[in-house]
Structure 1
Amino acid sequence: MKTERFASFDGTQLALHRHGSGRPLVLLHGLFSSAQMNWIKWGHHEVIADKGYEVLMLDFRVHGESEAPREPEKYPINVLVRDVAALVDHLGLEDYDLGGFSLGARTSLHAVAHGVLHPARLIVGGMGTAGLGEWAKRSAYFKRVIDEFENIPRGDPAYFSMQFLKSQGVDRVAARLLLDTMPDLDLGLLPNVTMPTLVVCGDEDRDNGSAPALADLLPNADYVEVPGTHMGSVTKSDLGLAMADWLERTA
């Protein structure tokens, strides 16, 4: 695996981790996580690469090894969609697949539903209808985590989230700016997502609402359930295997 950096649309330096060779698959991680935490640490990238793919794993701005600018002008609406589009343009991708977990899934659906990106196939992990149409509630939760960071008591539901942000070394000033760039997705746009789509979610994952309901709203979706909660499902081999098997089956 190799890591390189490229300049996004506004000059922000973003990290890209590449593994394998073959058909390009762009993978996007979850909120306040990273490519390392979602895809690499648990070996999902290797399982998929073994099926004949070059796995292209972006670190979003404010995440992983990418820059975390603190200037408000670096955070226009849907900035992450623009970053992914900049990656696709940078690599000159035309025939490729796209996948994401949680925030990565949400970003992918925004990009496809609005016609910004046109992957041949799409993977949506750890995402349900509420995660798309009720983002304001989710955002308010994480703003509280950031604003009350040092004062959240053990036992508070937000305590675990605070510890996770701390463990990932997230720049809280940049993260606070990023949270305001993510609008709700009008579920009425989901019929625009016409390509074959895998919706995959943990059997105990309710963080973003109903994943089966999301699959039902997509014109050409398969739903697969894997073991685990929202945070736990990415740590199990079942997630990567489900993604690899679906890619092989729909090739």
Structure 2
Amino acid sequence: MPSLPSRLPMQTFDANGVEIAYFDTGAGEPVLCIHGFASTAHINWTYPGWVETLTKAGRRVIALDNRGHGASQKLYDPAAYHTTLMAEDARALLDHLGIARTVVLGYSMGSRITAFLAQRHPDRVSAAIMGGLGIKLIDGVGLPETIAEALEAPTLEEVTDPQGRMFRAFAMQTQSDRKALAACIRGSRNLMTADEAASIRCPVLIAVGTKDAIAGPPEPLAAIIPKGEALSIPDRDHMPAVGDKVFKAGALDFLTRIGV
């Protein structure tokens, strides 16, 4: 079994009173990477090979641990996890690093954050790549609140919901703060209206696995966003699609075609 890539050194900064951890590696045009729920910058981007892929393509890669995740500060009030607040953490990181405008790559919850960032701060996002989130950005939200109950259950054995068991087991494997994650899932399931999505003006690639039951299909969202494109990742459900070679190749092709 191949070994995992080495962890990159993390730095921290103050994002409006919340300590946020991040790594910054490579040289060239930047890509800001925003991970999904219950994940971390390393789990989402280093271990599946994204950092290697992007740096080899001549990119500077910046990835943060979202609030409540990884090495970032843990908060326990669901209101502290509204997607607008997490989008502001990402914007604050760009400010901290002196980056005026960048490509943003998100996955799942990170794609929701990416969409809110692009919609609220169009001057900061040159292009967006949104993996693991399709039409459920605006219709229905991907992850159910029952995941919070699974995270709070006394033991994994007591969780009967399959999706809840998956996230509870994942949180245990990554030694995450399950109380903070429960607050996050309750506070971050925020919808964007169709009109708001239609106001996103940068080019957007929406990549979803064909077996993903969480994200919703990419085509309806791509039809709403003026410069939206859909990419289907064949035979992948939500978790394995993250590091799929079709996703990586599609992302690099997208960035080449739009010239950013």
Q: Write the deviation string for residues 176-213 of structure 1: whole angstroms up to 9, x where unpaired.
A: 22233322211221111111111111121131212111
* Cα pair distance change 1:5/1:151, threshold 3 Å: closer
Q: Is 1:236 matched with 2:241?
A: no
Q: Percent identity of the aligned residues?
A: 23
Quote the Cα distance in structure 1 between the aligned partners of 2:224 and 2:176: 34
* Cα pair distance change 1:230/1:203, threshold 3 Å: same
Q: Which residues of 2 match residues 37-186 of structure 1 at below 5 A?
A: 37-70=43-76, 72=77, 75=80, 77=82, 78-115=84-121, 118-135=124-141, 138-150=143-155, 152-153=157-158, 156-157=161-162, 158-182=164-188, 183-186=190-193
Cα deviation for residue 18 of structure 1 reads 1.7
Q: Write the deviation string for residues 135-173 of structure 1: whole angstroms up to 9, x where unpaired.
A: 3x7341222212325154476412222101111222122
Structure 1: runs of 5+ lacking an equivalent: none
TM-score (norm 2): 0.87
* C-alpha RMSD of the superposition: 2.2
TM-score (norm 1): 0.89
Quote the Cα distance in structure 2 between the aligned partners of 1:20 and 1:4: 15
Cα deviation for residue 67 of structure 1 reads 2.1
* Cα pair distance change 1:92/1:163, threshold 3 Å: same
Q: Which residue of 9, 14, 22 maps to 1:16?
A: 22
Structure 2: runs of 5+ lacking an equivalent: 1-7
Quote the Cα distance in structure 2 between the aligned partners of 1:239 and 1:108: 17
Q: Does structure 2 conserve the Cα–Cα contact (< 8 Å) formed by 1:129 and 1:208?
A: yes
Q: Is 1:249 matched with 2:253?
A: no
Which residue of 2 is the match for residue 3 of structure 1?
10
Which residue of 1 is the match for residue 4 of structure 2?
none
Quote the Cα distance in structure 1 between the aligned partners of 2:215 and 2:78: 29
Tell me, what secondary structure is at the counterpart of 1:204? Answer: coil
Quote the Cα distance in structure 2 between the aligned partners of 1:104 and 1:16: 14
Query: Which amino acid is 1:248 matched to?
Result: T
Cα deviation for residue 117 of structure 1 reads 6.0
Quote the Cα distance in structure 1 between the aligned partners of 2:156 and 2:43: 26
Q: Does structure 2 conserve the Cα–Cα contact (< 8 Å) formed by 1:128 and 1:214?
A: yes
Query: Which amino acid is 2:15 matched to?
Result: S
Q: Does structure 2 conserve the Cα–Cα contact (< 8 Å) formed by 1:111 and 1:117?
A: no
Tell me, what secondary structure is at the counterpart of 1:54? Answer: strand
* Cα pair distance change 1:156/1:17, threshold 3 Å: same
Tell me how many residue pairs correspond in the alignment. 248
Cα deviation for residue 102 of structure 1 reads 0.4
Quote the Cα distance in structure 2 between the aligned partners of 1:149 and 1:187: 39
Quote the Cα distance in structure 2 between the aligned partners of 1:235 and 1:73: 29
